[in-house]
């Protein structure tokens, strides 16, 4: 754990939250909300030097990561993998779990499965964000949601065989029209047969979509599996106007002990964004009065 950073967890009761920072290896995602870019070794070295517990990796595909190289980097820097993103399935390969074409949906499921297997070897869950896709006429919302449910009923158990959950991330309205809000995604996941799919709560998306971020986190409770840590403008925490105190209190109240991962724009530059993130973790480390 980060020194002096039981920001949210109570270390007397459980392990506490762990910090993570994002590394994108996807050129097509350039301009996106990732702190470190292109070089896994350099990203791991910087993450460790700043005191992060883990890295969250966005690979172009599962076979772009050499597991032996990654294992070596993690051991060298005493890091964990917080999660592995599947966004390249959409931005690079144009696959979506709710594509109207059955053959595209099948390839999308296989892409996510390959990331589950990669992450699973490191104890890390895969993230389904943009791979949830969107629906447009003539496809109905019900049809798209049913396709997503079918995919998760297959992929949730696959993740369970790797002893990791799978993460579904509600996104803001400009990125999907399937799941924007925590409560809707929570209700959807609760009805699935598989109970191995948890929520990824991204504070940037929640700032747009939720009336009350803390209340949404409390409603999701034990289904919160991972948090993307960003300010209102998707800069590092402290560079925008989000009030983090009630968010920290809500996460403490639900006993969240997973990863809080900075998925933010690398502004004003990667190193400054990473350093500001760590400082914010520390700033909010004291229980709020």
Q: Using a CB cutoff of 8 Å and minimum separation of 24, what contacts does 1-7 make? A: 1/53, 2/51, 2/52, 2/53, 2/278, 2/281, 2/282, 3/51, 4/282, 4/285, 5/281, 5/282, 5/285, 6/285, 7/248, 7/260, 7/281, 7/282, 7/284, 7/285
Q: Is 56 a catalytic residue?
A: no
Q: Give me the least distance between CB of 188 and ligand LER, in Å please.
A: 18
Asked if 266 is part of the footprint of ligand LER (rule: CB under 6 A), the reply reads no
> Interface mask (CB under 6 A) for ligand LER, residues 180-219, using x and -?
----------------------x-----------------
Asked if 171 is part of the footprint of ligand LER (rule: CB under 6 A), the reply reads yes
State phi, psi for 90 to the nearest 5 degrees. Answer: -90, -55
Q: Give me the least distance between CB of 289 and ligand LER, in Å please.
A: 32
Structure letter (DSSP) for residue 232: T
Contacts of 141 (CB under 8 A, 6+ apart): 135, 177, 178
**Alpha-carbon distance values, 123 to 63, 93, 214 (Å):** 17, 25, 28
Q: Give me the least distance between CB of 169 and Mn ion, in Å please.
A: 5
Among 110, 210, 263, 279, the active-site one is 263
Decide: helix, strand or coil at residue 262.
Answer: strand
Q: Which does 16 bind (CB under 5 to 8 A by kind): Mn ion, ligand LER, none?
A: none
Q: Which does 175 bind (CB under 5 to 8 A by kind): ligand LER, Mn ion, none?
A: ligand LER
Q: Which does 32 bind (CB under 5 to 8 A by kind): ligand LER, Mn ion, none?
A: ligand LER
Which residue among 6, 9, 16, 32 contacts ligand LER (CB under 6 A)? 32
Asked if 231 is part of the footprint of ligand LER (rule: CB under 6 A), the reply reads no
Asked if 28 is part of the footprint of ligand LER (rule: CB under 6 A), the reply reads no
Contacts of 24 (CB under 8 A, 6+ apart): 32, 34, 36, 37, 38, 58
Among 56, 169, 209, 210, the active-site one is 169
Longest dimension (CA), the chain: 54
Residue nearer to ligand LER on the CB measure, 30 or 193: 30
Which residue among 53, 99, 169, 210 contacts ligand LER (CB under 6 A)? 169
- The burial class, CB within 10 Å (0-12 / 13-18 / 19+), for 99 is buried
> Interface mask (CB under 6 A) for ligand LER, residues 82-121, using x and -?
-----x----------------------------------
Q: Is 169 a catalytic residue?
A: yes
Q: Which does 53 bind (CB under 5 to 8 A by kind): ligand LER, Mn ion, none?
A: none
Q: Which residues bind Mn ion (CB under 5 A)?
A: 202, 228, 263
Alpha carbon distance 175, 202 (integer Å): 13
Alpha carbon distance 106, 149 (integer Å): 13
Active-site residue list: 169, 263
Binding site for ligand LER (CB under 6 A): 32-33, 87, 127, 129-130, 169, 171, 175, 202, 228, 263
């Amino acid at each position: 754990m980060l020194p002096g950073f039981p920001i949210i967890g109570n270390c007397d009761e459980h392990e506490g939250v762990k910090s993570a920072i994002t590394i994108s290896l996807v050129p097509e995602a350039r301009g996106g909300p990732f702190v470190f870019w292109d070089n896994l070794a350099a990203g791991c070295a910087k993450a460790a030097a700043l005191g992060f517990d883990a890295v969250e990796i966005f690979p172009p595909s599962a076979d772009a990561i050499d597991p032996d190289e990654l294992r070596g980097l993690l051991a060298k820097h005493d890091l964990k993998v917080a999660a592995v993103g599947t966004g390249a399935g959409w931005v690079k390969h144009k696959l979506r779990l709710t594509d109207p074409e059955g053959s595209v949906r099948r390839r999308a499921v296989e892409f996510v499965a390959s990331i589950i297997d990669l992450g699973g070897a490191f104890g890390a869950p895969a993230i389904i964000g943009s791979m949830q896709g969107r629906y447009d006429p003539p496809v109905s919302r019900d049809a798209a949601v049913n396709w997503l449910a079918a995919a998760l009923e297959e992929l949730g158990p696959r993740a369970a065989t790797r002893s990791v959950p799978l993460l579904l991330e509600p996104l803001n309205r400009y990125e999907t029209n399937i799941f924007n809000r925590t409560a809707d995604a929570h209700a959807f996941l609760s009805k699935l047969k598989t109970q191995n799919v948890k929520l990824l709560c991204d504070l940037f998306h929640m700032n747009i979509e939720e009336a009350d971020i803390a209340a949404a986190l409390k409603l999701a409770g034990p289904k919160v599996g991972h948090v993307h840590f960003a300010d209102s403008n998707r800069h590092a925490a402290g560079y925008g106007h989000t009030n983090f105190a009630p968010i920290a209190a809500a996460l403490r109240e639900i006993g969240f002990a997973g990863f809080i991962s900075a998925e933010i724009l690398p502004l004003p530059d990667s190193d400054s964004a990473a350093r500001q993130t760590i400082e914010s973790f520390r700033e909010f480390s004291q229980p709020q009065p």
